[in-house]
């Protein structure tokens, strides 16, 4: 039993040394955004920190969720589109059927939105967080074209 515990502790230490995160702070997110050259602005609103991003030439937001004592266990990317002629619900649903890793919906005003979530609680490498951002940027570009946003 002691051997298994020691092996588990060693593996955990190795994983943590390689940058695996089970939570993240706003400061760590900002450092990651800076190191990846993502255009961003830190926003503090009523004690909550989030980031405005510029991805694929469009505006998006990165929210830190499921936070306790300054550490957050999930990230959410969001982009909303205000359109004179928004897509139909059928068109938005077709996006969800045909594309993975993001979800689209019509908000309360009938405008399209795109979101994606990343759960860190099981352990995620920093590279996976960057991949999450990059994949959302690709999805955002494709979704904007899909809905005819100009």
pLDDT, one tens digit per residue, over 102-138 is 999 999 999 999 999 999 999 999 999 999 999 999 9
The continuous run of DSSP H or E covering 20 comes out as strand 20-21
Q: Average pLDDT over the chain, rounded to whole?
A: 90
Q: What percent of the chain has pLDDT over 90?
A: 83
Q: Give the number of other CB atoms < 10 A from CB of residue 20.
A: 16
Residue positions counted in the chain:
150
Q: Between residues 36 and 10, which one has the greater pLDDT?
A: 36
Cβ 144 vs Cβ 56: under 8 Å: yes
Give pairs for 134-138: CB < 8 Å, separation 24+.
Answer: 135/101, 135/102, 136/55, 136/60, 136/77, 136/101, 136/102, 137/55, 137/56, 138/56
Among 87, 75, 59, 71, which residue's Cα sits nearest to residue 147?
87
Position 33 scores a pLDDT of 96
**What is the CA 22 to chain-centroid distance, rounded?**
15
What is residue 9's predicted lDDT score, i.e. its pLDDT?
Answer: 45
Region label for 51, one of left (φ > 0), alpha (ψ between -120 and 50) or beta (otherwise): beta
């Amino acid at each position: 039993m002691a051997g298994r515990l020691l092996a588990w502790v060693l593996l955990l230490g190795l994983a943590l040394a390689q940058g695996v995160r089970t939570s993240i702070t706003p400061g760590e997110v900002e450092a990651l955004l800076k190191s990846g050259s993502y255009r961003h602005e830190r926003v503090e609103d009523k004690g909550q920190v989030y980031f405005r991003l510029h991805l694929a030439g469009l505006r998006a937001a990165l929210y830190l969720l499921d936070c306790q004592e300054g550490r957050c266990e999930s990230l959410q990317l969001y982009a909303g589109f205000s359109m004179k002629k928004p897509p139909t619900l059928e068109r938005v649903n077709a996006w969800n059927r045909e594309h993975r890793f993001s979800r689209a919906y019509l908000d309360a005003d009938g405008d399209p939105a795109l979101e994606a979530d990343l759960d860190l609680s099981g352990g995620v490498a920093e590279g996976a967080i960057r991949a999450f951002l990059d994949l959302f940027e690709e999805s955002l570009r494709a979704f904007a074209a899909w809905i005819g946003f100009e």
